[in-house]
Amino acid sequence: METRRVSRRSFLVALALAGSALLNACRESATEPTVPPTRPPGAASPTVVTSTLELPPYIDRSRLERELAVFNWGDYIDPDVLADFERLTGVKVTIDTYETNEQAIAKLQQGGLGYDIVVPTDYAVQIAIGLGLLQELDRSVIRAIEHIDPNNLNGPFDPGNRYSVPYFWGTSGYAYDTAVLGDGLTSWQALFEPAEAARGKLVMHGYYRETIAAALLWLGYPLNETSDEALDRALAVLKAQKPYVLSYTSENNDELLVAGEAVIAHCWTGQAILAKREKPTIRYVIPLEGCAVWQDNLCVVKGAPHPYAAMVFIDFLCWPEIAARNAAYVGYASPNRTARTRGLLDPDLAADPAIYLDDTTWRRLQWFRDLGPDYVKYDRIWTELQAG
């Protein structure tokens, strides 16, 4: 088992720079960006997994190849989970890492370097499917997908999950210190009409699509809105908010909350989890107006040299016991509903309705979509906001 540590958070930072360049970079095999590493934070019968980790009977051991090459975000799988898979199957797993979706797709376009599995984010799955880089999944092998929460399935990037299985996911709401601001915050209003105690101690995302999306949602628009009228109104809201903003960042939002430099921060779920672990008075909110949802997914590369082992590995990662252990290591929300209902996940996180969501809250979430040429409008807004 071979790994190289590069934080998945590097991707989240790089999104601010990627913009519409992703699709062009994939088509033209553009130069790959470099981002400094940072701290991570048919119907089938039910899958049977024993505490001794036995392969279920639907797995044909004789078809397993001896090797498996995984292309993944850095530090994004529990090494002990990998070791158990190797002991269970006899398959040697090699892991290589990437820092951005465009970097991963560009390498796959160049021949894939023998990779079997890749772990793209939602919109990148759609791009990879369009470029013919992914292989359809064998659902006679990946039966443990039945444990995945239906809310995480059938995303707009891969209806029917023909090419992808949810791995980890999260949202983009805000976290705040209840010791300073109380318990009653529920709306984006807390960021755009901040209380006196939050002024100057308010953090917004450094990824401009997230920040502009928050303003659009507060105004009642969809987060992928591109009309000039809506975007001008969003810019006006952001300009009015700017005097109260401590920082626009996607990198250390959690640390600013823990240190007390910020009392409220627009952030990803994982950052809120990290902050709450160190400061229990931190609370994470999915605003009533809604927020963005993202999801990383397990996919098999088209022409993978070890396709059966790849399918078995994806199935293995969906076993509830394995999914729970992996989530404890990685620190993001698991899409494995069975792991949650069996009480296998961190009880504090599993009980948090802003991290593991009910169906009503799920309906308030929206997926980011590729804006195509309208990215120029978002670039203009962001440039004007930063310069003002």
Do residue 32 and residue 153 come from a single domain? yes
What integer is the mean pLDDT of 188-207? Answer: 97
Do residue 98 and residue 87 come from a single domain? yes
Residue 361, domain member (yes or no): no
Residue 186, domain member (yes or no): yes
Q: Is the pLDDT of residue 9 over 50?
A: no
The mean pLDDT of the chain is 88
pLDDT tens readout for residues 40-50:
333 333 444 44
Q: Is the pLDDT of residue 381 over 80?
A: yes
In DSSP notation, 36-58 reads: ---------PPP---TT-PPPTT
pLDDT tens readout for residues 137-158:
999 999 999 999 999 999 999 9
The CATH number linked to 123 is 3.40.190.10
What's the pLDDT score for residue 44?
36
CB 22 within 8 A of CB 371: no
pLDDT tens readout for residues 297-351:
999 999 999 999 999 999 999 999 999 999 999 888 999 999 999 999 999 889 8
Do residue 288 and residue 380 come from a single domain? yes
Work out the pLDDT band at 270, boundaries 50, 70, 90.
Answer: confident
pLDDT tens readout for residues 105-136:
999 999 867 999 999 999 899 999 999 999 99
What's the pLDDT score for residue 100?
87
Do residue 199 and residue 96 come from a single domain? no
Residue 302, domain member (yes or no): yes
- Domain span at 333: 9-169+293-356
CB 25 within 8 A of CB 107: no
What's the pLDDT score for residue 193?
98
| Portion of the chain with pLDDT greater than 90, in percent | 77
Do residue 206 and residue 281 come from a single domain? yes
What integer is the mean pLDDT of 166-195? Answer: 97
Between CA 256 and CA 277 the distance in angstroms is: 14
Do residue 248 and residue 134 come from a single domain? no
Q: Is the pLDDT of residue 16 over 60?
A: no
What's the pLDDT score for residue 344?
97
Residue 159, domain member (yes or no): yes
Do residue 316 and residue 280 come from a single domain? no
Q: What is the tally of structural domains in the chain?
A: 2
Work out the pLDDT band at 24, boundaries 50, 70, 90.
Answer: very low
What's the pLDDT score for residue 123?
87
What integer is the mean pLDDT of 49-59? Answer: 80
Residue 304, domain member (yes or no): yes
Tokens coding 376: 């120029």
Give 242 or 351, the one with higher predicted confidence: 242
Residue 34, domain member (yes or no): yes
Between CA 83 and CA 92 the distance in angstroms is: 9
Do residue 279 and residue 221 come from a single domain? yes
Between CA 275 and CA 254 the distance in angstroms is: 5
Residue 298, domain member (yes or no): yes
pLDDT tens readout for residues 324-335:
999 999 888 999
Do residue 33 and residue 89 come from a single domain? yes
Do residue 184 and residue 87 come from a single domain? no
Between CA 291 and CA 140 the distance in angstroms is: 35
Work out the pLDDT band at 7, boundaries 50, 70, 90.
Answer: very low
What integer is the mean pLDDT of 261-274? Answer: 94
Q: Is the pLDDT of residue 1 over 70?
A: no
Do residue 159 and residue 176 come from a single domain? no
Q: Is the pLDDT of residue 362 over 50?
A: yes
Between CA 22 and CA 11 the distance in angstroms is: 12
Do residue 247 and residue 304 come from a single domain? no
- pTM tops 0.85: no
Residue 1, domain member (yes or no): no
How many other β-carbons are positioned within 10 Å of the β-carbon of residue 111?
Answer: 9
